[in-house]
Structure 1
């Protein structure tokens, strides 16, 4: 039964990752937070294991979706390179902070921000972006913020990357594709940090390597890589306005979950 739950989560996470560039964390983390107590995993390490496992799953999922987008020429490789240093630095910082700070208050504050962004995107889906992309230093700062918040909260970089790029007049499909590539970077660095941080934690459950729970990782990843290309195909076939509004709905759901309004 647990295996079927992992597979179902993976199928949905892959579809969302490919279509919206969200990485799948918006589905994986809350799902694992529900499943792990059934396995007897202690509450004090539950969220760390959920986030670490989610970040690890994002790696193969993002590889699958990024390749599908890249084949369609939608990934802005030069932009990814400019964001890369900040993403890496932020992912390391976020992983370190996750082990030091109580994230409940931060999660609620960020949840309000995400809901506001989602509302703006939904009701202004036909409006163009308001500014052009910033320079190198601006992209470095942006990448650092995205990397830090994504790894700290386990939400996936797309929750910030896609709205930022769309605000900067980047086409929605290109924003989703580029976000998928950024998610790959965040997944690799973030998962490595969580593996390292949890390496000596006493009482890790069988099957855990650091803050990575291998049975969940395998079950979710196998399914997610199958549906990520389908999600990418949908991203390139749906009207841009429709894609924006679907993205806004999922983003709002993620924000409401952070605020404790939704429980899923």
Structure 2
């Protein structure tokens, strides 16, 4: 029974994560904790193991998503390489910081984080893109699958600082970093949303590799559960990319925002 639940969790998390560039850990971590510590359906789940196992699963969600998005030219490799300079060390640092969590403290801080993500999703399309970082010397063209050229850019140091923070949260909570990177790339770096989502999953891939490595060294990965989650997540990521091209993103984001808000409130109340 628990393996069926894990497969469903992996599938849903990957669909949601790859659809809008969040990664999927924002679903996997709280559900693992709920099934393990609240319902007792999963043995050996601690906050750190939930985060570490999620990080490993996100490696495959990121890989599957990047392969699919790259076919449609939705990954900006040139700008993405600068963002890796922050997200990789940030994720490693966050993975070691997560050892400070207890079950209740993780529920509290993760609940607050989920509500923050819900708020970001609420205002993402309402905030006008900021042109403060748009300087001619940083502008680079990116041609999408339709042959249309988009011009945008950012100072490398700003990208490194922002991705360092996103990477830290990726390692801390096992979420991949896409929750912050996607809106950051849209609002601050003026990336078109379709390219921001694909590039975000590229960052999720490497941020999760770094985070998973840190958790692996600490013994925070439940490999049996990961082996069930990974195949379902890999398939779910491909489905999420396909849905990204077909569904109205506003509808998807509205539903996700409400679910995250309720989940965040529940986790905070349950931690008190």
The answer on whether the counterparts of 1:62 and 1:180 sit within 8 Å (CA) in structure 2 is yes
- 2:168 is the alignment partner of 1:148: yes
- 2:72 is the alignment partner of 1:77: no
TM, length-normalised to structure 1: 0.82
The count of corresponding residues between Structure 1 and Structure 2 is: 247
SS of residue paired to 1:18: helix
Question: 1:240 deviation in Å?
Answer: 4.9
Equivalent residue number for residue 203 of structure 1 = none
Q: How far, CA to CA, are the matches of 2:229 and 2:79 in structure 1?
A: 29
Equivalent residue number for residue 88 of structure 1 = 88
TM, length-normalised to structure 2: 0.79
Q: How far, CA to CA, are the matches of 1:181 and 1:88 in structure 2?
A: 12
Summarize the Cα distance change of 1:5–1:244 in structure 2 as closer, same or farther, 3 Å threshold: closer
Q: How far, CA to CA, are the matches of 1:163 and 1:114 in structure 2?
A: 15
Map of 1:19-38 to 2, 5 A cutoff? 19-36=19-36, 37-38=40-41
Equivalent residue number for residue 8 of structure 2 = 8
Summarize the Cα distance change of 1:61–1:142 in structure 2 as closer, same or farther, 3 Å threshold: same
Question: 1:238 deviation in Å?
Answer: 2.9
Summarize the Cα distance change of 1:174–1:107 in structure 2 as closer, same or farther, 3 Å threshold: farther
Cα deviation code 1:76-134 (max 9, x no counterpart)? 11121010011111011111211246696687567556635633543563654223454
Summarize the Cα distance change of 1:260–1:20 in structure 2 as closer, same or farther, 3 Å threshold: farther
SS of residue paired to 1:38: coil
Equivalent residue number for residue 163 of structure 1 = 183
Q: Which moved more, 1:130-139 or 1:179-188?
A: 130-139
Question: 1:250 deviation in Å?
Answer: 5.5
Equivalent residue number for residue 268 of structure 2 = 259
Map of 1:217-256 to 2, 5 A cutoff? 217-242=226-251, 244-245=253-254, 248-249=257-258, 252=261, 255-256=264-265
The answer on whether the counterparts of 1:117 and 1:163 sit within 8 Å (CA) in structure 2 is no
Q: How far, CA to CA, are the matches of 2:109 and 2:59 in structure 1?
A: 27
Equivalent residue number for residue 202 of structure 1 = none
- 2:189 is the alignment partner of 1:173: no
Summarize the Cα distance change of 1:124–1:40 in structure 2 as closer, same or farther, 3 Å threshold: closer
Q: How far, CA to CA, are the matches of 2:212 and 2:266 in structure 1?
A: 22
Q: How far, CA to CA, are the matches of 2:62 and 2:208 in structure 1?
A: 8
> In structure 2, which of residues 204, 207, 229 is the aligned counterpart of residue 186 of structure 1?
207
5+ residue gaps, structure 1: 198-209
Aligned CA RMSD, in angstroms, stands at 2.7
Q: How far, CA to CA, are the matches of 1:81 and 1:104 in structure 2?
A: 37
